[in-house]
Structure 1
Amino acid sequence: MHLDHAHHGPSAVSADARRPDGSRRALRIGLGGPVGSGKTATVAALCRALRDELSLAVVTNDIYTREDAEFLLREAVLPPERITAVETGACPHTAIRDDISANLEAVEDLEDEVGPLDLILVESGGDNLTATFSRGLVDAQIFVIDVAGGDDIPRKGGPGVTTADLLVVNKTDLAPYVGSDLARMAADAEAQRAQLPVILQSLRGGTGVADVAAWVRGRLAAWTA
């Protein structure tokens, strides 16, 4: 199920939209969400869907490891030089919202080393429903939850659920096995998010991935217009 609305959030415009040499920098999209919701798998799926048409790269965040980056490398979703990792050493939201310097350095280094880039995906380490990205780091953000976390998650809200530019309800194929009501989750998400879009996704079943990729293309089109 894809719940889309006429309003798609603010246009992708940033005060620092250009690099020091005057060229337009890459669009930066952040992906956040609780541990195990499927953020890294969603990043991998987006890379596969977009890599033949866009020049893109990925920054991952983990507290003490580079596990998410290593997963992407094993899956060979992009050439190794287009994937980099930040070890936050603290709560994941700190590096994407409070002190974004390490992530800013990582995205700028990627543009210097493998650019020009169209898109950089910045994946947060697993956090809770309050995790949001600084607008000084990303131009738009996707928040990923999953049905195994409980079908009351959209109703509980929190900044990630209510304010992210796109909400992805992941692992819908598991709903019959964990007792989650997808229709209820969709209705609650729509009520919480007003006119912001919601996409129900199953990476195993292949549903929703194309819709998320299309949303990314739309943000990129706004960015480059």
Structure 2
Amino acid sequence: MHLTHAHDDTGPGGLSADVTRPDGTRRALRIGLGGPVGSGKTATVAALCRALREQLSLAVVTNDIYTREDAEFLLREAVLPPERIAAVETGACPHTAIRDDISANLEAVEDLEDAVGPLDLILVESGGDNLTATFSKGLVDAQVFVIDVAGGDDIPRKGGPGVTTADLLVVNKTDLAPYVGSDLDRMARDAREQRGDLPVAFTSLTAEDGVAPVVDWVRERLAAWTSVPAA
């Protein structure tokens, strides 16, 4: 099933009401991060891990077509212990493994919960893809879509499922706007027109606490998730 905001089996905050694992324990909240190549998905994942690792039990699944490059970056940065980072080599377009045949990602998620659980949060990072990339609701409970100002300030206006339907749109690298001629006010207006009431966060990961808007959103989603009674 493609990402939508109308879902028959949802709990508070529009999250899936299926919060339990087969053994009856509560499963982790799964948040997917997608977006074009170079938009800053891996850097956002790294920043989230640094901001949340002291308060939450979390893990990461990365997706690359033929390499483990994103996972290796996270390992070099030591954002989490190695056993909490798993890599999936998709062997095809990244959206295939997050939307169509999600079996490899589901296996990675479940293996992490078996190995290092119980977990509060699992971040699933897609490989770089285009504006149509969305996550299956069978894989993640909420989706973040990351774009950056260097890709052009017309991206929000162009739309596409990633921009228009993601639970959170992140406009990254705002510090570069003066150097690439991007108008942040225009991007904010266009994003509102495309997304209505769905939230948009502007981030600069070079700034202290630059990922704070995304951290706040994740905490809100987690609060909604933990309010759903376990079966």
TM, length-normalised to structure 1:
0.94
Kindly report which structure 2 residues correspond to 1:44-55, keeping only aligned pairs within 5 A, or say none. 44-55=46-57
Using the alignment, how far apart are the partners of 1:77 and 1:13 within structure 2?
Answer: 27
Give the C-alpha shift of residue 15 in structure 1. 5.1
Give the C-alpha shift of residue 205 in structure 1. 1.9
Kindly report which structure 2 residues correspond to 1:12-161, keeping only aligned pairs within 5 A, or say none. 12-14=14-16, 16-161=18-163
Which blocks of at least 5 consecutive residues in structure 2 are unaligned?
1-11
Using the alignment, how far apart are the partners of 2:210 and 2:158 within structure 1?
Answer: 23
Give the superposed CA RMSD: 1.3
Using the alignment, how far apart are the partners of 2:163 and 2:208 within structure 1?
Answer: 23
Question: For residue 203 of structure 1, what is the aligned residue in structure 2?
Answer: 205
Using the alignment, how far apart are the partners of 1:188 and 1:115 within structure 2?
Answer: 41
Using the alignment, how far apart are the partners of 1:182 and 1:15 within structure 2?
Answer: 36
CA contact (8 A) 1:12 1:219 kept: no
Which blocks of at least 5 consecutive residues in structure 1 are unaligned?
1-9
TM, length-normalised to structure 2:
0.92
Do residues 189 (structure 1) and 200 (structure 2) align? no
CA deviation map 1:38-90 (0-9, x unaligned): 00000000000000000000000000000000000000000000000000000
Using the alignment, how far apart are the partners of 2:84 and 2:14 within structure 1?
Answer: 23
Give the C-alpha shift of residue 12 in structure 1. 4.8
Question: For residue 3 of structure 1, what is the aligned residue in structure 2?
Answer: none
CA contact (8 A) 2:202 2:213 kept: no
Give structure 1 regions of 4+ aligned residues with deviation exceeding 3 angstroms. Answer: none
CA contact (8 A) 1:142 1:168 kept: yes
Using the alignment, how far apart are the partners of 2:47 and 2:87 within structure 1?
Answer: 18
**1:221 is matched by which residue type in structure 2?**
A
